[in-house]
Structure 1
Amino acid sequence: MQDLFPETQIKPWQPLADRMRPRRLDDFFGQAHLLAPDKPLRQAIEAGILHSMIFWGPPGTGKTTLARLIAQRTESRFIAISAVFAGVKEIRSAVETAKQAQAEGHPTVLFVDEVHRFNKAQQDGFLPYVEDGTLTFIGATTENPSFELNNALLSRTRVYVLKALTPEEIRRVIDRALTDEQAGLGSQHLEMPQEARELLARASDGDARRALNLLEIAADLSVKQNDRQAIPVYLIKEVIAGGVRRFDKQGEAFYDQISALHKSVRGSDPDASLYWFARMLDGGCDPLYIARRVVRMASEDIGNADPRALQLALNAWDVQERLGSPEGELAVAQVIVYLACAPKSNAVYTAMTSAMKDASEGGSLEVPLHLRNAPTRLMKELGYAKDYRYAHDEAEAYAAGENYFPEELGKRQYYFPTAQGLESKIADRLAHLRELDRKARDVNLKPEKANPEKIRK
């Protein structure tokens, strides 16, 4: 079997993260949910069984390394291309190489990094060769495949979700790099206290590549202590200063975190709401984007239970635009806490959804004649506005029994106010008006002849 990672390939000028790529599955840290001895993927790899797959996960979780290990284990030719730089030409070249290898009796693994950057035509380019077995496709992506990849490609692959490494797993990566004398830093005999290792592991945010890159920088800056080179805690703090958490403005982390913020507000948890707000700011999110989303939360999840919420959200947005950071963010934080603590109602949101459904499915239903405007004599002669009941002239300023819907649609109820906050009073008011409607029907009066005084009795 050809060794894809022979020791002779390791060069001193290679980055530490590249030199430390695991060469055996047993050296692969993390992803136990996929690679534990009893897991199907591990069993398939050890049995040399190839199938096309997508690795979806954050940076530095081993997507590329795992693809190479699979090719090595299955004695396959490994072709790697990056969707950032490659196009149809590179795909065709890879296919020709795979055909040649197939003629020689060798399978081929085509690994496409950042596969979500390929457009539809590029993704379709290698589908026929996946189907006829010319090559086995392995794609790597940090984005949700459901949104970024064609259904045709997804239907021919299996998606494996890779998770960010835990601090403990990252610390094992660091320990191995410090002791490995062939590929790592073992020959330098660096001293690094456990506190420094743990600090680096936490700062790496689940990304093994980031951990090794930071470790390599720290090793280059190591200081002499007790006649030995050391990486003290203060040096690690300097190296990791300014790092930010995972947050891609166009990626999965972005939508996951704004979703977490919205759901925390909806769930009336001000503390979790503040945490996710802080996470997004820490990751570089535009505060104005969050302010806009907070306005949506005020309408969708608080609504008429506390109508002040919408105005406060608009005020916070205005403060963010006028003052910028950090004053504006405090105003947004204030309204986030207010929304989380406010009574909740999605009654208006669900009512609007139902009304939109009827509007889109009902066609162009005519406005009833009595509700039409009649600015001209002709329109009056045609019956426009005839028998319209002016609500302010009726008892309680309400035309009991009147219908304001198209005749074909009939009377509908979309808005069901809850018992939360001010909306409970709205519910009582609507219940009273519906009782007036019921009494109007009970006395069998037509709407246009309804006697409000009689109804009240």
Structure 2
Amino acid sequence: MSDLFDELEPAGFEPLAARMRPRSLAEYCGQQHLLGTDKPLRKALEQGAIHSMILWGPPGVGKTTLAKLLAHHVDAHFIILSAVLSGVKDIRAAVDQALQVKAQSGRKTILFVDEVHRFNKSQQDAFLPYIEDGTFIFVGATTENPSFELNNALLSRARVYLLRSLELCDIEQLLQRALNEPERGVTQQPLHFAEGVLEKLAQAADGDGRRGLNLLEIATDLAEPVENGYRVDLNVIEEVLKSSVRRYDKQGDLFYDMISAFHKSVRGSSPDGALYWYCRMLDGGGDPLYVARRLVAIASEDIGNADPRAMQVVLNAWDAFDRVGPAEGERAIAQAAIYCACAPKSNAVYQAFNQMMADVRSDPGYAVPEHLRNAPTSLMKDLGYGAEYRYAHNEPDAFAAGENYLPEEISERRYYQPAPRGLEIKIGDKLRHLDELDRLSDLQRYKKE
């Protein structure tokens, strides 16, 4: 097992996070939903069984560490590839090494591929025959949703495990271990912390164990020498956190999770929720105009004619951002988000449009009724184009009761059904009134006939 522990042992200078990498499952923090007592993965390990898997989770939650510990636990040879730096040539070299180890010692090999989602389809396909014939056990790590980023063929041969962000107590445990193990942990000893400092560091880690240890290392580097050692107070922590940016990936799962939470907060009429997720995205370096664009969609999809002013409020906020810049413009978008969250909701337009598009695509191309056709020439008029068309403005209340504007074959269909909320209450009342006028007009026509 020297091949594994050579990687676990420090060689020269290493960052604190590397030095504190757990050496056993007992030291591993978090992921109790996978490794807790009686959990399937824990049971498999206790039985010495291992299978190909995808470890999916945000940065700093222990994907690489878990893969190494799995190899140690089942006494497997460990090979690591980075999809950022490796290609098909490196995959072939790993295959050759795995075959050699199996021939010489009979040991299994775990091939760990970090950032596996960065491999293209053909590179991912290169693993398949060797997973299939047992040349190696495949363990891939990804921060992106495997359903979108990995081939179905690869997913069908590996079990997906979701690793969660570390809890605050897990981060605090990591920090305490780094402080209590001077041979691997922080070198400034003895180290004294002002009240609340460690908790503040743990919170700033944002569920990322590596980030928490990195922040601790910076804080100890800046610690002030005192008579009996070193001291870290709140001033030092504020200096450390000044340049610290929260975890946020503008194109990754976290981005889509946050924008989804924002959209659902607005749809669910929660102004506080909408404002929170908007500010979280801004804090992580997100583009406020992306949120403005999403609000335009929300104004149509989720609010619609229940409050048509919502669309204008959003567009005005977008315009304000362009005119005055981020400092004031971000607040204008916040105002629009809160307005949309508080507005009455209706997806009647959204549903009507989607249903109409579906029907138009599936139905035959019905002819335009003759009375609705354009008739710019005398020939067209002789053919009946525009005949018997009733100009609405010449009718009582500017409504031609009984007139039909759909193809005859679908004249009875109704798509737009206003919701009983906001302005659509009045729109619904008006449409029902017009339907009644149409019905009375049909009755009168029937009596005449």
Cα shift at 1:150: 1.2
Structure 1 residues 291-440: aligned runs within 5 Å: 291-440=292-441
Cα shift at 1:386: 2.0
Query: How far apart in 1 are the matches of 2:53 and 2:113?
Result: 11
**Residues 74, 374 of structure 1: alpha-carbon distance in 2 compared, 3 angstrom cutoff:** same
The 3-state SS of whatever aligns with 2:352 is: helix
Point out where structure 1 has 5 or more consecutive residues left out of the alignment: 451-457
Deviations 1:346-404 (A, max 9, x none): 11111111111111111422222221111123322332222222222223322222222
Query: How far apart in 1 are the matches of 2:342 and 2:188?
Result: 58
Cα shift at 1:58: 0.9
Cα shift at 1:257: 0.8
Cα shift at 1:444: 4.6
Structure 1 residues 55-454: aligned runs within 5 Å: 55-104=55-104, 105-185=106-186, 188-193=189-194, 195-445=196-446
2:188 and 2:230 in contact (8 A); partners too:
no
Residue 110 of structure 1 aligns with an amino acid whose one-letter code is: L
The 3-state SS of whatever aligns with 2:435 is: helix
Query: How far apart in 1 are the matches of 2:126 and 2:283?
Result: 40
Cα shift at 1:182: 2.8
Query: How far apart in 1 are the matches of 2:430 and 2:44?
Result: 66
**Residues 8, 340 of structure 1: alpha-carbon distance in 2 compared, 3 angstrom cutoff:** closer
Q: Could you tell me the TM-score, scaled by structure 1's length?
A: 0.94
Alignment correspondent of 1:23? 23
Query: How far apart in 1 are the matches of 2:208 and 2:405?
Result: 60
Cα shift at 1:261: 1.0
Cα shift at 1:192: 2.8
Which shows bigger deviation, 366-375 or 218-227? 218-227
Which shows bigger deviation, 282-291 or 99-108? 99-108
Deviations 1:317-341 (A, max 9, x none): 0001111111001111111111111
Alignment length (residue pairs): 448
Residue 253 of structure 2 aligns with an amino acid whose one-letter code is: E
**Residues 8, 331 of structure 1: alpha-carbon distance in 2 compared, 3 angstrom cutoff:** closer
Residue 331 of structure 2 aligns with an amino acid whose one-letter code is: L
1:288 and 1:321 in contact (8 A); partners too:
no
**Residues 8, 156 of structure 1: alpha-carbon distance in 2 compared, 3 angstrom cutoff:** closer
Cα shift at 1:286: 1.1
Say yes or no: does 1:49 pair with 2:13. no
Runs of 4 or more off by more than 6 Å in structure 1? Answer: none
Query: How far apart in 1 are the matches of 2:210 and 2:9?
Result: 19
The 3-state SS of whatever aligns with 2:367 is: coil
The 3-state SS of whatever aligns with 1:191 is: strand
1:178 and 1:189 in contact (8 A); partners too:
no
The 3-state SS of whatever aligns with 2:5 is: coil
The 3-state SS of whatever aligns with 1:37 is: coil
1:179 and 1:186 in contact (8 A); partners too:
no
Cα shift at 1:6: 5.7
Which shows bigger deviation, 330-339 or 232-241? 232-241
Cα shift at 1:212: 1.1
Residue 157 of structure 1 aligns with an amino acid whose one-letter code is: A
Point out where structure 2 has 5 or more consecutive residues left out of the alignment: none
The 3-state SS of whatever aligns with 2:79 is: strand
Which shows bigger deviation, 323-332 or 406-415? 406-415
1:380 and 1:386 in contact (8 A); partners too:
yes
1:260 and 1:276 in contact (8 A); partners too:
yes
The 3-state SS of whatever aligns with 1:259 is: helix
Cα shift at 1:152: 1.3
Deviations 1:391-432 (A, max 9, x none): 222233222222222233333211110121111110000001
Query: How far apart in 2 are the matches of 1:3 and 1:139?
Result: 19
Alignment correspondent of 2:4? 4
Deviations 1:26-75 (A, max 9, x none): 10011111110211111112222111111111110000000001111111
Q: What RMSD in Å do the two structures reach over aligned CA positions? A: 1.9
Cα shift at 1:129: 0.9
Deviations 1:248-271 (A, max 9, x none): 110111111111111111111111
Query: How far apart in 2 are the matches of 1:368 and 1:210?
Result: 68
Query: How far apart in 1 are the matches of 2:190 and 2:38?
Result: 37
Cα shift at 1:85: 1.0
Residue 44 of structure 1 aligns with an amino acid whose one-letter code is: A
Query: How far apart in 1 are the matches of 2:234 and 2:6?
Result: 35
Query: How far apart in 1 are the matches of 2:375 and 2:108?
Result: 79
The 3-state SS of whatever aligns with 1:401 is: coil
1:3 and 1:72 in contact (8 A); partners too:
no
**Residues 253, 400 of structure 1: alpha-carbon distance in 2 compared, 3 angstrom cutoff:** same
Query: How far apart in 1 are the matches of 2:347 and 2:338?
Result: 18
